Amino acid sequence: MSTNRKRIGIVGARGHTGAELIRLIAAHPVLELAFVSSRELDGQRVDAHVSEYHGELRYSAPAHEDLPKLGADVVILALPNGKAEVCVAAFDAAGADPLIIDLSADYRFDQRWYYGLPELTRDKWRGERRISNPGCYATAMQLSIAPLKDLLAAPPVCFGVSGYSGAGTTPSDKNDPDKLRDNLMPYALTGHMHEKEASFRLGVPVEFMPHVAPHFRGLTVTTNLYLTRSLKREEVLARFRHAYENEKLVSVTDEAPWVSRIAHRHHAEIGGFALSADGKRVVIVATLDNLLKGAATQAMQNINRAIGVDEYTAIPVGRG
């Protein structure tokens, strides 16, 4: 196990995920923050916003062409979709080759980048230093479908509900607590980016209908799967337990998990496993915290593996 200290920088650290990343890094024995960029928080102390961090570091707002000069061994891009390319180009132009983890969708369809959903792609990592972190919904959908992918008779249909932290910090209807109160807000009912992502990565078409609810964090996906042959519930459970038996951040439960129980937890829960009378249709429920296993925790899994430490370093894996 490597014990050399690694300097890590976060580009776009103002958002909810940025704060979670700082908390994880603050507890990490090998990583130390080199910089955290945020135009809105430029000049403010990091510890004034994230109490778990102890140090003198302040938020900064470097131009993208200056990022390679900041000396980070690892760079996390926590930017909106469409904003990562200029940062990556800056490192390429400077001849710098830090480990780069992109949290946006920009490189999830680029085969030159490693797609870091460890529970499903761990064996495909070939030492790439460019890692695309999966989307939160796409993570839940793929974990729900993969163990039965060989038996699908039709495209999986996924109904998703997330807390409004998934809509980011830029004000909109989807993160306005007043408009969400006593409400369930549908959006992007066809062609959602995570629908495309899950379909691309699984190699099967996936249909996805997302909604935003009044709670802050955590998402739930209910997936309807039609099968080519009848299965017993015990067979379905066995497939999922076998697929994830050694995974510390995926919990297979008998009952359908509740989204209220996943907030601030670092693992995904998959359960329910309700079968139709003929055994050819199964309904599966998955929950995860969109800011953790759906973003920051998954990024930390990928970073740990790439820098040569235990995958779960600094990640609280207890399910309590």
- The set of catalytic residues is 136
Interior angle at CA 242, CA 240 and CA 245, nearest 5: 100
**C-alpha–C-alpha distance, residues 220 and 214, integer Å:** 13
CA distances from 18 to 123, 146, 243 (A): 28, 29, 31
Q: Are 22 and 10 in contact (CB under 8 A)?
A: yes
d(CA 127, CA 152): 32
Give the span between the Cα atoms of 90 and 77, in whole angstroms: 13
The sign of the dihedral angle between the CA atoms of 18, 23, 28, 32 is: positive
315 contacts 249 by C-beta, under 8 angstroms: yes
Closest CA to 282 of 218, 239, 251, 220: 239
User: Phi and psi dihedrals of 244, rounded to 5?
Assistant: -120, 20
Phi, psi of 87 (to 5 degrees): -70, -45
C-alpha atoms less than 13 angstroms from C-alpha of 248 in its C-beta half-sphere: 13
At 275, which helix (H) or strand (E)? strand 268-275
